[in-house]
């Protein structure tokens, strides 16, 4: 398990997506892609059936910013997604990560995290919240650049199996190939 000081500099943002994406989630991913290029990781239930607690903790540890949209109770898999979203948001808050917790529409939000939720009714509101979030992530990223990482102390800590989704490994793909004569 990575320590909190070991943020992945190649993809410092982690996004939790619902199984069925509406225009709101597509718009959100588009904003993330524009701001961070391909330097972000996602959990997408279409590509990976479930999010284990270990993977959630690992991905939050490796991130400076976490984006979690809550979805309406009328949508497919809303209860599962919103429970997953609450867990990841709690991890982000507990690890003092930059958190963008969004609620599209006017559905009620549980009291536990009502103060953290940003209600989004229009594209302009989403843009405003995102424009506040992105500079904070960049600021954390820049303050982390000069910090030296602790070297792994044993071979087990050096072992990396990779992410369960190839899209989350964009920055590390070159590390997985051996140089052969054909290469």
Give the CATH number for residue 72: 3.40.50
Query: Where do the DSSP E strands lie in the chain?
Result: 13-16, 40-43, 65-70, 98-104, 117-120
Q: Output the pLDDT for position 4.
A: 47
Rounded to the nearest integer, the mean pLDDT of the chain is 81
The burial class, CB within 10 Å (0-12 / 13-18 / 19+), for 66 is: buried
On whether residue 33 sits in a domain, the answer given is yes
Q: pLDDT digits over 137-154, tens only? A: 888 877 765 455 566 667
Q: Is residue 83 part of a domain?
A: yes
Looking at per-residue confidence, does 88 or 151 come out higher?
A: 88
**Torsion on CA atoms 92, 35, 165, 72, rounded to nearest 10:** 60
How many structural domains are present in the chain? 1
Containing structural domain, residue 142: 13-176
Query: With pLDDT > 90 as the criterion, what percentage of the chain qualifies?
Result: 26
For 47-61, what is each residue's pLDDT tens digit? 888 889 999 999 999
pLDDT tier, 164 (very low <50, low <70, confident <90, very high otherwise): low
Structural domain contains residue 8: no
Report d(CA 173, CA 27) in Å as an integer.
Answer: 27
In-domain check, residue 40: yes
Is residue 170 pLDDT above 70, yes or no? Answer: no
* β-pair partners for 66: 14, 99
Q: Is residue 147 part of a domain?
A: yes
Residue 182 within any structural domain of the chain: no
The better pLDDT of the pair 108, 116 is held by 116
Establish if 181 belongs to a structural domain.
no
| Residue 85 forms part of a structural domain | yes
């Amino acid at each position: 398990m990575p320590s909190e000081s070991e943020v992945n500099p190649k993809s410092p943002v982690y996004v939790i997506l619902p199984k069925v994406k509406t225009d709101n989630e597509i718009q959100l991913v588009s904003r993330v892609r524009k701001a961070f290029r391909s330097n972000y990781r996602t959990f997408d239930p279409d590509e990976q059936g479930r999010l284990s607690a270990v993977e959630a903790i690992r991905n939050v540890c490796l991130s400076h910013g976490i984006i979690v949209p809550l979805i309406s109770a009328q949508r497919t898999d809303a209860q599962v997604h919103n429970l997953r979203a609450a867990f990841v948001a709690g991890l982000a808050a507990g690890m003092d990560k930059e958190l963008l917790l969004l609620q599209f529409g006017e559905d009620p939000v549980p009291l536990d995290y009502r103060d953290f939720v940003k209600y989004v009714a229009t594209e302009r509101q989403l843009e405003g919240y995102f424009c506040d979030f992105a500079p904070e992530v960049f600021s954390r990223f820049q303050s982390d650049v000069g910090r030296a990482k602790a070297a792994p102390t044993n071979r087990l800590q050096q072992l990396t199996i990779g992410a369960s989704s190839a899209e989350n490994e964009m920055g590390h793909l070159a590390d997985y190939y051996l140089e052969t004569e054909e290469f």
